Structure 1
Amino acid sequence: MSLSNVNVTANGFQLSGFTGSNFSLVVGSPRWQHDLWFTVVYTVGTVAVEMVLGTAIALVLERLKVGRGWLMALLLLPWAMITVVSAELWSYLYNGVYGLVDQILAPIAGHDVNLLGTPVDATVAMGVADVWKTTPFVAIIVLAGLVMLPGDVVEAARIDGANAWTIFWRVRLPLLRPTLAIAVMFRILQAFGLFDLPFVLTQGGPGTSTESLAMLGWRVMFQDLKFGPGAAVATTTAAIVLVGCLLFLKVFRAQVGQEETV
């Protein structure tokens, strides 16, 4: 569809010809460029925060001897919740009239606070909701990697006089790189396909400031009924994710190869 002229008829779709005009129309659009920039920045920001928080939570859980199972079960509740449901929950919290956030911040600000009313605030509010939901996923993956680390290497570093901070940065973190790479890959794939969270929280607003590539493709295809350009948006999004993941894996393998050589 992205490489064809698509006509909608009473009998369905009609694909005619071979054309690249859909891609030139999409890539040259300022709206597509804005949504690409927003999606990339949002993905990098949320994934970075989730990796830091998830690793910290995993380190705490690793040290627990009692109640780890219960805490892991509680930790997984946000992740198990359907994104649309969690987005509705956060929309109530962020409501500028009766939301809990407004009740807390309004006395300080002196007026009602609507965190979804400005582009920057709406982006940060979405990021907080995303981090709340997906950090447990990262924590569980990192915890699995921590449990599988060889204890003799850590013990040898401790005998050599390394403190806890040095052991983490010089021993445990390098050994965790494959696990962290898996977590980053999964989160990039999920975050770059951002749709349901902004769809419920902001509808891509204010204006189109929080509109992701997935939302743009949906709007072009199913609201504007421009199936050729909509398919081009989806295809370019998939291609960008594929190239990004391949580059990430290449860099990761090169780093691992250098460490093994050393």
Structure 2
Amino acid sequence: MSVLSAEQTQGSKRRRNLKMADRRAGFGLLAPAGIVMLAVTIFPIVYSIIMSFNNINLTTNGFEFQSNGINNYKTVFGSPVFWHSAWFTVYYAIVTVFVELFFGLLIALAINNVKKLQGLSISIMLIPWALITVISAQMWDYIYNGVYGVLNAVAAGLHLIGQPVTWLGQNTSAVIAMMVADIWKTTPFVVIILLSGLQMIAQDYYEAARIDGANSWQLFWKVTFPLLRGSIALAGLFRILQAFGVFDLPFVLTQGGPGTATESLAILGYRTLFEDLHFGVGAAVAVSTVILILLACLIFLSGFRSMVEEEAA
């Protein structure tokens, strides 16, 4: 028995040593990717936070840091321009995300119920998402153009307008026009996530509900929607992250105008950093934007979780 126990002990030690060797090898293989992630992700974040607490001047030797505490944040939060950009970013994100989730769910349900040409439908639907945002923004700029735009030509042909309208030259129409362009481009992203969630739902649930006499609406509300909540939350979370960081679409389409009507926090940070060269204040804008994004994601997830718990109760 003692010999067997000694052999078992040695065997367990060898297994532990092998596991430790495997772990070390795994960490060694992951180390290059981890270093790259630290270099391109963690370091810029930490550096931006440091910049936000300093007054930064350009010298012949590079940047000169002078600590000024929270003065940059006082400048940011005391500026009406920042609060206007924050308000625009928030309601832009709320409107576009909810509209995209609504239409994305409708399109995903339609494609999921198509038995023929489903692959073709998905391919056609993905064309807006596949386009580079700069290109799609230029296309929408052509559509909205007040002189030769397609929208004016169609609206005039339908006798909806009597004279050309400068859609991107008025505050309200510029905001709506940008939202339409964003919804057109990013709804396919939501569709793909929701469609994958729909196709993962087992047909047994629907068959059991039909046996119990459920109609189409009850099948959706009692079976499809509850089982699709995770996909909806995932799509909403990704879209909130993207919508709060919107930059390329308004930068190309409206340049943040007219005035500051479509100036997002990302554009405000860009102008503060690279046009005004106020690096500390610009970093404070960037850090504040990240905090706002995190709060928005937490609010969305907590609200979604509360809705799920209420329905479960």
Residue 244 in 1 paired to residue 283 in 2? no
Structure with greater helix percent: 2
Preserved contact between residue 5 and residue 19 of structure 1 (Cα < 8 Å): no
**Could you tell me how far apart the structure 2 residues matched to 1:167 and 1:122 are?**
40
Other-structure match for 1:204: 256
Other-structure match for 1:194: 246
Paired residues for 1:86-101 under 5 Å? 86-101=136-151
Other-structure match for 1:184: 236
Q: Deviations over 1:50-97 (max 9, x none)?
A: 011110000010011111111111111110111011000100111111
Other-structure match for 1:14: 64
Preserved contact between residue 171 and residue 258 of structure 2 (Cα < 8 Å): yes
- The letter of the residue matching 2:292 is I
Preserved contact between residue 213 and residue 233 of structure 1 (Cα < 8 Å): yes
- The letter of the residue matching 1:71 is S
Other-structure match for 2:108: 58
**Could you tell me how far apart the structure 2 residues matched to 1:10 and 1:250 are?**
50
**In terms of Rg, which structure is larger?**
2
Cα deviation, residue 246, structure 1: 2.4
Residue 71 in 1 paired to residue 121 in 2? yes
**Could you tell me how far apart the structure 2 residues matched to 1:53 and 1:45 are?**
12
- The letter of the residue matching 1:146 is L
Moved more, 244-253 or 96-105: 244-253
- The letter of the residue matching 2:156 is A
Q: Which runs of 5+ in 1 are unaligned?
A: none
Paired residues for 1:23-172 under 5 Å? 23-107=73-157, 108=159, 109-172=161-224
Q: Which runs of 5+ in 2 are unaligned?
A: 1-50
Preserved contact between residue 244 and residue 293 of structure 2 (Cα < 8 Å): yes
Q: Give SS of 2:262's match.
A: coil
Q: Give SS of 1:211's match.
A: coil
Cα deviation, residue 196, structure 1: 0.7
**Could you tell me how far apart the structure 1 residues matched to 2:165 and 2:299 are?**
42
**Could you tell me how far apart the structure 2 residues matched to 1:257 and 1:90 are?**
41
TM-score of the superposed pair, with normalisation by structure 2: 0.80
Cα deviation, residue 161, structure 1: 1.1
Give RMSD over aligned pairs: 1.4
TM-score of the superposed pair, with normalisation by structure 1: 0.95
Structure 1 runs of 4+ with >6 Å offset:
none
